[in-house]
Amino acid sequence: MLRVLVQVLLADLRARPLPAISTIIGIACGLALVVAVEGAGSAAKDRFGRVHEQLSGRATHQLTAQERLTPDDFARVMSRPEVQAATPLITGLLPLTLAGRGGTFEDIVQVLGVDPFTIGDFLPTVQLTSPGGGTGSFTRFLVEPRTVVLPEAWARAQGLDVGDSMQLIASSRPVELEVVHLLPSSPVDAERPLALVDLATADELLGRGGRLDRIDLQLHEDADAESFALPGQIIERPRSRGERGAKLFAAFRINLLALSSLALLVGAGLAWGASQFNVIRRAPLLSRLRCLGTSRRALLQAVLSELALMGLVGSVIGVILGWLLAQVLVDHFAGTIRMLYGELRVSSVPFRPGTALLQVLGGMSVTLLSGALPAWEAATTPPRLVGLRSRAERLLARRVPILVVLSTVFVLLGLVAWAWPSRRIEPVFAAAGCFLAAAATLLPALMHVALPALRRQLERRGFFLPALATGTMSQGLSRTGPAAATLSAALAMALALLVMLASFKTEVMNWLDSVLQADVFVASAVEDRVPEEVIAIARSLPGLEDVEILRSHDAVFRDRLVVVFGVDGREVTTARSRSLEQGNWDEAWAGFLAGEVILSQPFATRFELGLGDELTLHESHPPQRVVGVVQDYALDRGYALMSAAAYLERFGDTGIDNLALTFTERAPGHSQEMATVLRQSLAKAPNGPFLLQVEDRATLREGARAAFDQTFVITKALELIAAGLALVGIANTLIALGLERRHELAVLRAIGSSSRQLLGLFCLEGLLLSTLAALAAIPLGLVLAALMIEEVHPRSFGWTFPWSWPIVSVVALLLAALAAGAIAAIVPGLRFGKTSLAAAFEEQS
């Protein structure tokens, strides 16, 4: 029986495929976005983690230290019986020029300084005895200094062969290395081309002063790893290093996933609307089937089977579309991650059949869930049709108190999730879900009360078309309520994003203005230090008022690596004071000069530190008191700021990370001019050219603005798609309502309503529906914005920012939604304006 029933339903669907197409589009689009964001995010995350893992090869643990490690440390760990193998490493990035090509800058390579005698235990392709094939002499690499081993593919692409020399720029001076061996493949999956050199060469190139960056270890399973770390040293598993990196952008990914889930929710709303539409359109068919003896159960099974089939088609399309979209999205993801967290190159998203199958099953489940209620309505179609619609509406009217109770429960659950004592982000999303559900259940209940009252008022004032439209909305509440709720959810999310982004951007730009007080900024282009002689060159510039030096150093605090900045000028420090979050600036400045410390807000949040707390950033020095907490959006892991004297006393590291130059002339465009002059001076310097970034204030500010906008491009695109799907849902609802009252519409036309008037009526209905959605979206959007600003950002990134009110943008958004609601009504309005009156009345009799 089921097969026959499904055949009947499918034959009907073939004749009028619009609802099926709507369902498939809704599920396919919603699922595609989730699959794309998840796929691209996973690929980026895997890659992020893998880069860290593969550089460590077969290491079970890695030992690092804030002051780097010494050969004695290596000897110490080698003497421990729990050590199966250990190898010292020096790593860093250096610019490459190719000899004989005019010394032009070509690329940046990752230099990996290894001990050829021990590295084979960790990177099997680099073996002393059998270097895994390749060409050239590995033995020369063992005995001759300034020799390099390269991956063959990359070397060939550069036109390098065994015996050729390559030039790296180290400390602004060219250093020539001879290529002695080519490996058949890169021993590690690094983001940059890899150049293997011995430890002595790496030390010379990277200026490590005889120290090691890392010791990779293979320890026995029962070894006490912690006992290997002396004070100021950290031992951890490589995986956790990679995971720590991946966690950095987990919040960014979760935010996008939440938004794409909203798109799926809206897609499910579209599928729900289409299912409702199908039930109405098919009422005569379903009634006849019931007359012919079809049981409710059989009808329910048939409708659900049909729904599952549509879900299958939509999900398969969605997964394929999503995978294709992920290929595009992953590049954007990687770009954002590069901007926020460092180097990452991801070129494609692999297709995983197992995951795809789960995603298809998920899509089918969403389709079945969204169509379950309409399916039940279809199955309970009585053999006699009269009063069917009014029965459904009466049923809904009876459920209004239940909806109010449900809404209250959702609000309470949302508040509990919001107040949940956790720093994790998941309870915040749970709270957002609860508030969305509360709005979705409350809105139909409010419409049940408000629409009849509005209709009475409109009637009393003689606005008969608006009264007619309001009456239609009111009487078709089982259709209009959920449609308005779906659009309201999409609009609320858009509004929340608008407010959050405007607030965030305003604050970031204000903060940038406050920290970018100097005119020209100098930093290394290759994650290196700024050579000392650059200071002298800068000082020779005309009209220079001040040069401020910023130094940074890693430190271990509570077993985690943190960044410490040492600043020698008042200007930079004062600039940061303008965003003082905790403390009084005069006291903070006095404390700062006396050697105390100022924390960035993410640092303070991460370690739960506040004004007056003490922290030890160097074991052999006394703790420092927190004299201020400043807002900062540059590093989401945060930093500690101290005076240059306190910094040098603790870390002794005179290396320079940044220079900030201030000029006496403050005319617009002058800083740009001086940046150009400095670049020219640096190019002509005897020890140049230097690989430095020299930027003026305005360019840096614009770059930051562009980076900010780039970060939120996906967010805005996802939001736009969700709103688009919601509007298709509105059009579907209006078509369904039109079908339900096709006789009424025919009467209107019979008594003289023109097609244009009918179109106007539909547009009014669309406008009313979108107005209700927009009104509900305002409070809901503000609640969601509060969650984003007050919870998501502090919990994800550790920073807070004050609210801004983009009134014009919000009003524009709401007006656009109203207009879109009216526009969505055009298709159904035109359609019903053209139906045959004679046919409509014939159907009635």
* Interacting residues with another protein (CB under 8 A): 455, 459, 461-465, 467-468, 470-472, 474-475, 743-744, 746-757, 833, 836-838, 841-842, 844-845
Q: How far is CA 368 from CA 46, 490, 539, 727, in A?
A: 32, 22, 72, 22
> Closest separation between CB of residue 399 and another protein, Å?
21
> Nearer to another protein by C-beta: 348 or 755?
755
> Nearer to another protein by C-beta: 129 or 845?
845
> Closest separation between CB of residue 769 and another protein, Å?
15
> Closest separation between CB of residue 5 and another protein, Å?
31
Distance CA(657)–CA(532), nearest Å, equals 10
Tokens 């940038």 locate to 512
**Sequence-ordered alpha helix ranges (H) in 636-712:** 644-651, 670-684, 697-711
- In the structure, how many helices (H) and strands (E) does the chain have? 29, 20
> Nearer to another protein by C-beta: 805 or 841?
841
> Nearer to another protein by C-beta: 490 or 761?
761
> Closest separation between CB of residue 827 and another protein, Å?
18
- How close are the terminal C-alpha atoms of the chain, in Å? 31
Beta strands in 199-355 (DSSP E): 214-219, 233-236
| Beta-carbon contacts of residue 221 (< 8 Å; ≥ 6 apart) | none
Query: Tokens for 746?
Result: 């025919």
Helix 477-515 and helix 807-824, axial crossing angle in degrees, nearest 10: 150
> Closest separation between CB of residue 758 and another protein, Å?
9
> Closest separation between CB of residue 266 and another protein, Å?
29
| Beta-carbon contacts of residue 775 (< 8 Å; ≥ 6 apart) | none
> Nearer to another protein by C-beta: 687 or 754?
754
> Closest separation between CB of residue 764 and another protein, Å?
13
> Nearer to another protein by C-beta: 395 or 416?
395
Give the SS3 label for residue 780.
Answer: helix
Give the SS3 label for residue 107.
Answer: strand
| Beta-carbon contacts of residue 594 (< 8 Å; ≥ 6 apart) | none
DSSP output for 43-98: HHHHHHHHHHHHTTTT-SEEEEETT-B-HHHHHHHHTSTTEEEEEEEEEEEEEEE-
> Closest separation between CB of residue 741 and another protein, Å?
8
Phi-psi domain of 836 (left: phi exceeds 0; alpha: psi -120 through 50; beta: other): beta
Q: Which residues pair with 93 in a beta bridge?
A: 110
> Nearer to another protein by C-beta: 14 or 460?
460
> Closest separation between CB of residue 753 and another protein, Å?
5
DSSP output for 181-245: EEESS-SS--SS-EEEEEHHHHHHHHT-TT-BSEEEEEE-TT--GGGGPPTTEEEE-HHHHHHHH
Distance CA(125)–CA(129), nearest Å, equals 11
> Closest separation between CB of residue 744 and another protein, Å?
6
Closest CA to 32 of 448, 359, 430: 359
> Nearer to another protein by C-beta: 737 or 813?
737
> Nearer to another protein by C-beta: 463 or 803?
463
> Closest separation between CB of residue 709 and another protein, Å?
48
Residue 436 has a CB neighbour count (10 Å cut-off) of 22
> Nearer to another protein by C-beta: 240 or 757?
757
> Nearer to another protein by C-beta: 64 or 733?
733
> Nearer to another protein by C-beta: 287 or 616?
287
> Closest separation between CB of residue 505 and another protein, Å?
47
> Nearer to another protein by C-beta: 236 or 765?
765
**Whether the Cβ atoms of residue 87 and residue 187 lie closer than 8 Å to each other:** no
> Closest separation between CB of residue 390 and another protein, Å?
8
Q: Peptide bond preceding 689: is omega within 30 degrees of 0, i.e. cis?
A: yes
- Checking 189-192 for CB contacts under 8 A at 24+ apart, the result is 189/50, 189/51, 189/54, 190/51, 190/54, 190/55, 190/110, 191/51, 191/110, 191/343, 191/344, 191/345, 192/93, 192/107, 192/108, 192/109, 192/110, 192/343
By DSSP bridging, strand 560-567 and strand 639-643 are parallel
**Whether the Cβ atoms of residue 491 and residue 774 lie closer than 8 Å to each other:** yes
The number of residues in the chain equals: 845
> Nearer to another protein by C-beta: 348 or 836?
836
Distance CA(431)–CA(422), nearest Å, equals 13
> Closest separation between CB of residue 396 and another protein, Å?
16
> Closest separation between CB of residue 755 and another protein, Å?
5
Query: Tokens for 570?
Result: 């008042």
> Closest separation between CB of residue 410 and another protein, Å?
31
> Closest separation between CB of residue 750 and another protein, Å?
5
Degrees to nearest 5, angle at CA 378 with 372 and 381:
145
Query: Tokens for 582?
Result: 């905790």
DSSP output for 477-492: HHHHHHHHHHHHHHHH
> Nearer to another protein by C-beta: 668 or 752?
752
Residue 185 has a CB neighbour count (10 Å cut-off) of 13
Distance CA(643)–CA(656), nearest Å, equals 14
> Nearer to another protein by C-beta: 709 or 843?
843
> Nearer to another protein by C-beta: 3 or 460?
460
Distance CA(25)–CA(816), nearest Å, equals 23
> Closest separation between CB of residue 481 and another protein, Å?
16
> Nearer to another protein by C-beta: 72 or 842?
842
Distance CA(28)–CA(21), nearest Å, equals 10
